[in-house]
Amino acid sequence: MTVTEQRNEPAGGFHPHAGIMAKAIVYEIENLVPGYARRLDGPFGAALREGVERVIRYALATPGRVVVLPERGARMFRELGRAEFDAGNGLDRLQSAYRLGGTVAWRHLAEFGQARGVPAGRLSACADAVFGYVDQVSALSVRGYHAARTASAGRLARSRRLLLEQILATPPASPRALASAAAQARWTLPERVTMVAVEASGHPAQPDLPELGEGTLADLTDARPCLLLAAETDLTGIARALGGRRIAAGPSVPLRDAASSLHWARRTLELVCSGALPDATVTRCTDHLLSLWLRADRFLLTELRKLSLAPLDGLTGKRRAALGGTLLAWLESRGSAVELAERLQVHPQTVRYRLRQLEELFGRRLHDPDERLAMEIALRAERETTATKVTEVDE
């Protein structure tokens, strides 16, 4: 073959050297990239050898042409990225191997081209093709790595939602079933938990869970989203991670009572959203136990009011409110007429008049501790209900 023919067909002339170049790349990677010495007989080695053939075929024969991998080849490099993730590795070593392979390939191609009199412009185009190919396979592996990480995160999220469902089941799943589900979810079962009810959103996408804390289980796609906290956590930070949605925390309870904690967290959130409790981004149910208790069973409270406050039933609304307020103030403080007058913002003589009326209406019941307790509970419940209704009207 003449020199001119060799210049026109540098790829054909280089083919006999392809094996030497592949061995040189393998040698360099084995010695300079830790962890790859024994991996070159497997998928990585196959990808490397195919890459050498492809560079020869396209970079030299048609310089300037973009080397486009077929789907089979692209899939192979994506799988290399997936394999790195599955092995618990980062991408640094794989990317180093790619760059090193590209450098060695270019060195051999340059030496070959210069020895054969290949024009400098054509060699420069070959260099672009070699390192463009390296960039392409690197990007494919990055894509495969991130796809594997996303899929793994999705599987882990599903496993953790399933674990949360089993914890909240009524009755809860058996300790053995929970231990198995926790192992699959890579989550350590705590002794105590706090459940958090989350205000529903029109955008139920999961936030970045690491921002919620590693000890957190979350189901934010449900119509009534919730979180399980396995440790003391900054609730304000959680609300911020949730985009400022209102949250309510139930009491800290043993793991087996998580469903009860969630019940009261959700009840607290309902009262916040309805205006019965102060509007706040973060609310703890333990700060409002009396309000929650007074609203726990409407039927029983209604019956209690009927029995304990029956003497007030015949009065007009305004008069009933005045005497009921005075009775509650007296029951709560057992203060003098002057003290009650200051509390109620009325004249002491008005208080004395009302107290005489209450004595006539209730008689001996005012001196029975059980009766007084029943009256106070009923009146407090009325006050809570009235405050809620006023708030609803104002809104």
Residue 293 lies inside a defined structural domain of this protein? no
Cα dihedral value 378, 379, 382, 387, nearest 10: -140
Examine the domain organization and report whether 276 and 302 are in the same domain.
no
Q: What is the pLDDT of residues 62-97, one digit of tens each?
A: 555 566 666 777 787 888 888 887 777 888 888 888
Q: At what angle do helices 337-344 and 317-333 cross, to 10 degrees?
A: 120
The pair of three-digit structure tokens given for residue 67, joined into one six-digit string: 């080397």
Examine the domain organization and report whether 345 and 279 are in the same domain.
no
Looking up tokens 């921002």 gives 211
Examine the domain organization and report whether 280 and 321 are in the same domain.
no
pTM attached to this predicted model: 0.57
User: Helix (H, G, I), strand (E, B), or coil: what is residue 239?
Assistant: helix
167, 255 contact by CB (below 8 A): yes
Per-residue pLDDT band at 2 (split at 50, 70, 90): very low
Examine the domain organization and report whether 42 and 112 are in the same domain.
yes
β-pairing, 247-254 vs 282-284, is: parallel
Range of the domain at 141: 3-151
Examine the domain organization and report whether 135 and 16 are in the same domain.
yes
Q: What is the pLDDT of residues 106-125, one digit of tens each?
A: 787 777 777 777 777 777 77
Residue 51 lies inside a defined structural domain of this protein? yes
Looking at every residue in the chain, the average pLDDT score rounds to 80
**Residue 201: partners with Cβ closer than 8 Å, 6 or more residues away:** 225, 242, 243, 245
Final residue before a domain boundary, out of 125, 151, 177: 151
Per-residue pLDDT band at 356 (split at 50, 70, 90): very high
223, 206 contact by CB (below 8 A): no
Longest CA span, the chain: 129
Count how many domains the chain has. 3
Residue 109 lies inside a defined structural domain of this protein? yes
Q: What is the pLDDT of residues 302-323, one digit of tens each?
A: 888 888 999 999 888 899 999 9
Examine the domain organization and report whether 340 and 205 are in the same domain.
no
Which of 14-46 are b and which e, b meaning 16 or more Cβ less than 10 Å from the residue's Cβ? beeebeebbebbbebbeeebeebeebbeeebbe
Per-residue pLDDT band at 395 (split at 50, 70, 90): very low
Backbone angles phi, psi at 169, to 5 degrees: -65, 155
- The domain spanning residue 126 has which CATH number? 1.10.490
Examine the domain organization and report whether 273 and 336 are in the same domain.
no
Length of the chain, in residues: 395
Strand partners, 228: 195, 217
Examine the domain organization and report whether 121 and 38 are in the same domain.
yes
112, 49 contact by CB (below 8 A): no
Cis peptide before 171 (omega within 30 of 0): yes
User: Helix (H, G, I), strand (E, B), or coil: what is residue 136?
Assistant: helix
How many C-beta neighbours within 10 Å does residue 338 have? 11
pLDDT over threshold 80, residue 9: no
Final residue before a domain boundary, out of 221, 253, 287: 287
Residue 184 lies inside a defined structural domain of this protein? no
Residue 186 lies inside a defined structural domain of this protein? no
* H/E element, 249: strand 247-254
The pair of three-digit structure tokens given for residue 380, joined into one six-digit string: 């407090």
Cis peptide before 16 (omega within 30 of 0): no
Final residue before a domain boundary, out of 102, 131, 151: 151
User: Helix (H, G, I), strand (E, B), or coil: what is residue 79?
Assistant: helix
